[in-house]
Amino acid sequence: MARDGASRGTLTPDLCVIGAGSGGLSVAAGAVQMGASVVLIEAGEMGGDCLNAGCVPSKALLAAAKHAHMMGAGAPFGVRPQPAEVDWSAVRAHVRGVIDAIAPHDSQERFEGLGVTVLRAFARFVDDRTVEAGGATVRPRRFVIATGSRPRVPPIPGLAETPHLTNETLFALAEKPAHLLILGGGPIGMEMAQAHRRLGCAVTVLEAGRALGREDPEAAAVALVALRAEGVAIRENAKVAAAAGGDGVTLTLEGGETVAGSHLLVAVGRAPALDGLGLDAANIAHDDRGVTVDAGLRSVSNRRVYAVGDVAGRGQFTHLAGHHAGLVIRSALFRLPVKARGDHIPRVTFTDPEIAAVGPSEAEARAAHGDRFSVARLDLAEVDRARAERATEGFAKLLIGPGGRVLGGTVVGRGAGELIGVVALAVSKGLKAGDLAGMVAPYPTYGEAAKRAAGAHFAPKLFGNPWVKRAVRLLARFG
């Protein structure tokens, strides 16, 4: 039951958390269980974008699409392919069921059971230490802004008047799109392109620059070859000049060419959700990236205020928001110094094959470290488990800096999102390539990839060094 706070008067908790997405919920749950009083304000759905319109439904849809794809992918294994019969309503029920199964963990009832006061209303700052929400006034010791982000809709002529989808509306489609046009070739666009293609839709992706342009170009190429082989039409350097509705959707490219489809998904990025919060009234500095914060995620202009997750301007990942939450709890409750770093935060594009990365790009690492930098690489074709599953497309690449320290890496291939975890740990803890090479990975698993990539760093020194061979021959003389 929604609570508007009208009868609560002025609340004076230790923390007021604005936004019940991943970051806000993590702050609220952690703080209240450590003895702090917490007011949590949320105008929309508990769980935020990740649960209701982002990570959870998109990965559930990808899982359904994978099963459909596997119906026709068994020939190399001696399994006769069969065309998949997709029941769109059942697919939607599966997605909804996954959301519903996770929702109790993020629910208002659970958080009230923990002792959090939950206000289901819009929050608005009225001065530098006060928020109003649905008739209640909240004057806490500290604020945490965790309002997340919203889909960005570019200022293309006619787009605002043309029916279009975003991730917030895509999963509610009652009927399967006949031909889905996707504006944007980033992670969201490419994931949804593959999912819908595997579920029987025609799909065209229009990207103004390079598809998957943030990723290692070699890794992106592996994924794009796979998507194109499945029938996803990917148009790079395709700049849309105008959009129009009518019988479906028509996009006009620069140069005059038109591309038509039945539905349009806009996936060109996200913007921090700060509208209507009244940040100026509270002297909270902000820009297009979000709240302007220091290294400890604290507002540079209002020291009562922290920001976490998408609105902190340091990346838009659920796991990053959770990491931010832990830092803010340490700072706000215990007054411990904290510093938000980003080099150890991994990211994954959940196409098939997946692309996962952590740390700087190869070009950034080379520019920073020059001749003290090297790349260690292993093709997945050299991993026996990949051979057994005929999933040899891809590679693991480690970026190794001075003293052999692991700076980052990229994995493209099956299960890359799982494989990147050990590389992220290495970056986080300052481990060296020798630490990864010395790890014992179970055989046969994909987990051997990172270990063997690290081993490749030492191979020239061990097997190509004439002094090593001389030492072995010398020692052999002594029996």
Give the Cα separation of 128 and 303 in Å (integer): 9
Q: Where are the alpha helices (DSSP H) in 390-442?
A: 416-429, 433-437
Q: Is 252 annotated as a binding residue?
A: no
Q: Is 239 annotated as a binding residue?
A: no
- Do the beta carbons of residue 415 and residue 446 sit within 8 Å? yes
Percent helix, strand, coil in the chain, to 5, is 40, 20, 40
| Number of CB atoms found within 10 A of residue 224's CB | 21
Sheet with 305-307: strands ordered across: 117-119, 38-41, 15-18, 142-145, 305-307
Which run of H or of E encompasses 208? none
Q: Is 59 annotated as a binding residue?
A: yes
- Do the beta carbons of residue 132 and residue 276 sit within 8 Å? no
Give the Cα separation of 430 and 452 in Å (integer): 19
Q: Is 160 exposed, middle or buried (0-12, 13-18, 19+ CB in 10 A)?
A: exposed
Contacts of 427 (CB under 8 A, 6+ apart): 343, 344, 358, 359, 406, 407, 408
Q: Is 186 annotated as a binding residue?
A: yes
**What pairs with residue 265 in β-bridges?**
165, 182
Q: What are residue 441's phi and psi, to 5 degrees?
A: -100, 140
Q: Is 184 annotated as a binding residue?
A: yes
Q: Is 18 annotated as a binding residue?
A: no
Q: Where are the alpha helices (DSSP H) in 103-215?
A: 108-114, 167-170, 187-198
Q: Is 147 annotated as a binding residue?
A: yes
Helices vs strands, H then E, count in the chain? 15, 25
What is the DSSP-derived secondary structure letter of residue 86? -
Contacts of 150 (CB under 8 A, 6+ apart): 168, 270, 271, 273
- Picking from 242, 224, 94, the residue whose alpha carbon sits closest to that of residue 161 is 242
- The two three-digit tokens of residue 160, written as one number: 């605002």
Give the Cα separation of 84 and 86 in Å (integer): 6
Q: Is 187 annotated as a binding residue?
A: yes
- Do the beta carbons of residue 249 and residue 265 sit within 8 Å? no
Contacts of 254 (CB under 8 A, 6+ apart): 239, 240, 241
Annotated binding-site ranges for NAD(+): 184-191, 207, 269
- Residues annotated as binding site? 59, 147-149, 184-191, 207, 269, 310
Binding site listing for FAD: 59, 147-149, 310
